[in-house]
Amino acid sequence: MSNAGKTGLVVTAHPGDFVWRAGGAIALHAKKGYRIKIACLSFGERGESQFAWKEADATMEKVKAGRRDEAQRAAEMLGAEIEFFDAGDYPLRLTEAHFDRMVGIYRELNPSFVLTHALEDPYNFDHPNAAHFAQETRVVAQAMGHKPGAKYTYSAPPVFLFEPHQPEMCNFKPQVILNIDEVWGIKRKTFEILAAQKHLWAYYERVALQRGVQGGRNTGKPMTYGEAYQRLFPMAMEELA
């Protein structure tokens, strides 16, 4: 397998998202030799750390440090590097500086694909905000007049939207089922780093199993664990099968 030099990018609002929703894709491509980078826009410190805030001596610094540590370890276990934007959550508030940095990452990485959130989510507005940010910076990275003179090779990559918590409520359509059988063990083990969200371990194991059944049914090839994605753009093909 010669994927040397290939890269993939994941843009995620909170730490848990890249584990539950894209952990399989990350581990799989890492194993195939891709360099995978996660742009983690917040620590989920306000809205996704209920457990931590129940500690008597919780402070914003402590909560953020705890979640950063978890996210770092989860990324490592999956085989990815991670960069934190620390943009705040609930609500996620992205600035011009974040925008420029994200454009820079696209250009540095020139990824073969980018994974991000679904376009709608009435349960969590940070998610569509992150998706919009990932999309807009992906386009701006093409603009020669953005930081003219910089040296880079960049071609806007295909976008895959990952499955939200309640897919039908987000108008999510599964168009791609990625077979994650060979890395399921890693993904499942990474769940355990997110110790405080133990109630979601079984939930997302069931999601993977349901998508596996669907992946098998739609293709006739056996699949046990799957991850569903929606494509944003047409794909070019050389052959239909």
Return the residues of window 178-237 that contact a copy of itself according to CB under 8 A. 178-179, 202-203, 206-207, 209-210, 213-221, 223, 226, 228-229, 231-237
Report the residue number, 4 or 145, with the smaller CB distance to a copy of itself. 145
Stretch that binds a copy of itself, among 13-21, 69-77, 116-124, 190-198 (CB under 8 A): 116-124
Q: Please say which residue, 108 or 120, places its beta carbon nearer to a copy of itself.
A: 120
Out of 99, 101, 196, 201, which residue is the one contacting a copy of itself (CB under 8 A)?
99
Cβ distance to a copy of itself smaller for residue 169 or 195: 169
Asked if 123 interacts with a copy of itself (CB under 8 A), we say yes
Considering the rule CB under 8 A, would residue 8 count as an interface residue with a copy of itself?
yes
Query: Is residue 58 helix, strand or coil?
Result: coil
- Is residue 6 part of the contact set for a copy of itself (CB under 8 A)? yes
Site residues for a copy of itself, window 159-178 (CB under 8 A)?
160, 166-169, 172-178
Which of 7, 61, 14, 10 lies closest to 33 in space, CA to CA? 7
Least distance from a copy of itself to the Cβ atom of residue 135, Å = 7
Q: How far is the CB of 13 from a copy of itself (least distance, A)?
A: 12
User: What is the Cβ-side half-sphere exposure of residue 14, based on CA atoms within 13 angstroms?
Assistant: 23
* Residue 16 C-beta: closest distance to a copy of itself, Å: 14
CA distances from 116 to 17, 36, 126 (A): 9, 13, 12
Enumerate residues 6+ apart whose C-beta is below 8 A from 8: 25, 26, 29, 34, 35, 36, 37, 111, 112, 113, 114, 115
Q: Are 14 and 44 in contact (CB under 8 A)?
A: yes
d(CA 82, CA 226): 23
**x/- string (CB under 8 A) for a copy of itself, residues 40-79?**
-----xxx-xx--xx---x-x--x----------------
- The minimum distance between CB 91 and a copy of itself, in angstroms, equals 6
Cα 202 versus chain centre, distance: 20
- For tokens 């894209």, the residue is 22
Q: Pick one of 136, 188, 196, 201: the residue that binds a copy of itself (CB under 8 A).
A: 136
Question: What is the DSSP secondary structure assignment for residue 157, as one 8-state letter?
Answer: P
Contact flag: residue 31 with a copy of itself (CB under 8 A): no
Whether the CB-CB separation of 84 and 43 falls below 8 Å is answered with yes
